[in-house]
Amino acid sequence: MATVFLGTIVHTKSFSEFESFESGFLAVDDKGKIIGVGHDYQAWLSSSPLQAKDLAEIRLSEHQFLMPGFVDCHIHAPQFAQVGLGLDMPLLDWLNTYTFPLEAKFSDQQFAQEVYQSVVEATLRCGTTLASYFATNHLESTLILAREAVRQGQRALVGKICSDCNSPSFYVETTEESASATLAFVEEMGKLGSPLVLPTITPRFALSCSKALLKDLGDIAKRFDLHVQSHISENLAEIEVVKGIFRTSYAAAYDEAGLLTNKTVMAHGVHLEDDEIALLKNRGCSVAHCPASNTMLSSGLCDVQRLVGAGVTVGLGTDVSGGNSVSIQDAMLRALDVSKHLDVFKKQNIRGTGEAKTQDPSYVQLKYKQALYMATLGGAKALAMDHLTGNFAVGKEFDALLVDVSVVTHPLRRLNVDELVEKFIYTGCDRNIVEVFVAGKRVKRGSQPE
């Protein structure tokens, strides 16, 4: 049904441009496309009589606002089954002790169905309207994840993980098996019949892929013009192993295989060197900032301002289960925390990470509106999906959250627009998300004020 929302509307237009319409409107047609947004609903009605015909009105309360849906640029769907476990270990130990044994269990399709149904439900409940999922090496169970996203109405990129070396013997493919299964996966995804869920080429990371496999995956991505996702420069020990294998930088290892494109998102990027950042920028690649897992696995503190300043698009990732929450709202808070810590490191000349070696009194902390950008439009751009979603530009699909900050704690006074958004972000409560829309369809109805 064509609908117009009347009340407070907020979204971002760039990393440093936040736009709001207090007493505004947002109109959506019966196909789920945004047809109007702004301050003056009556003027729009007068200028667009045909578009405005038969609009159902939804009036927001003074404690509610409408915002774009969250984008999770990096989440491991199977690891939802172990969220919160093993987070006192560094990355490589955690993978071998917890993650690889768990992911091997997804050869059991019934087990996969149970976990994947739960993770899609959980992410939608937390307001994630677009997720970029890593699955496992298993073709059939990865298709289960894709079908589950379609069934529940979530927009998603889904990737079958590829790895043919430096992996445990119980969870590894041959080069040929991995490449052929990826081709089969792409073919089967084309049969789903849903424009919301698309395949993404997914080498686990350079460490677990031979040069031959990376090249095969790069060729497949180019042939079908596909999205690409992987990891880069997450952990210092990991980086040294990659350099030892490929005799080049982490970024160059992917680039030589043709995997750095304008549809590529790389998770982490904590310890990227200047020439690697320049390479990512030149190729049009993006970074998924995963502040929770970078902290939990003691990988380091990623300097988002450094990446953005170099012209690299940055979105947010929960990185479950290296991260301990499927909530992008939580990822926003963690990103703001990390930026504050970096501010201390840089201004006090504390040696914190590869990006914080020298004093930098000019460093500026991330602001909450910039975190909101990374959680919405920045994430959509990072996934090369910003032509469809990420903000409320006319013509885009209506992926949105209806937020009510009075659900948990009723404000003692009326809040202005900035205060509504700030309270929502900093209180970090997903219960304030009362409705979730994807492509104009309501996919979740949540809590109501107590």
Residue ranges per structural domain of the chain: 2-68+391-444, 70-382
pLDDT at 446 over 70: no
Q: How far apart are CA 232 and CA 279, in angstroms?
A: 13
Q: How far apart are CA 102 and CA 111, in angstroms?
A: 11
Supply the pLDDT for residue 8: 98
pLDDT at 447 over 60: no
Superfamily of the domain at 2-68+391-444: Urease, subunit C, domain 1 (2.30.40.10)
Supply the pLDDT for residue 429: 85
- Please state, as a whole number, how many other Cβ atoms lie within 10 Å of the Cβ of residue 2: 18
Supply the pLDDT for residue 350: 52
The tokens describing 101, both together, are 């044994």
pLDDT at 335 over 90: yes
pLDDT at 400 over 70: yes
pLDDT tens per residue across span 347-385:
776 554 444 455 677 899 999 999 999 999 999 999 999
Whole-number CA gyration radius for the chain:
21
Supply the pLDDT for residue 356: 44
The tokens describing 84, both together, are 């919160």
Supply the pLDDT for residue 42: 94
400 membership: H or E segment, kind and range = strand 400-404
What share of the chain in percent tops pLDDT 70? Answer: 96
Q: Which of 117, 192, 195, 182 is nearest to 156 (CA)?
A: 195
335-349, 391-405, 435-449: least confidently modelled range: 435-449
Q: How far apart are CA 242 and CA 239, in angstroms?
A: 5
Q: How far apart are CA 305 and CA 312, in angstroms?
A: 10
Considering the segment(s) 70-382 as one domain, its CATH architecture is: Alpha-Beta Barrel (3.20)
Specify the long-range contacts of residues 146-152, CB closer than 8 Å, at least 24 apart. 146/189, 146/192, 146/197, 146/199, 147/192, 148/113, 148/116, 148/117, 148/120, 149/120, 149/196, 149/197, 150/192, 150/194, 150/196, 150/197, 152/120, 152/121, 152/124, 152/443
Output the CA angle 372-377-378, nearest 5 degrees. Answer: 80
pTM (whole model) above 0.85:
yes
pLDDT-derived band at 91 (thresholds 50, 70, 90) equals confident
pLDDT-derived band at 153 (thresholds 50, 70, 90) equals very high
Supply the pLDDT for residue 372: 98
Q: How far apart are CA 237 and CA 90, in angstroms?
A: 9
Supply the pLDDT for residue 449: 43
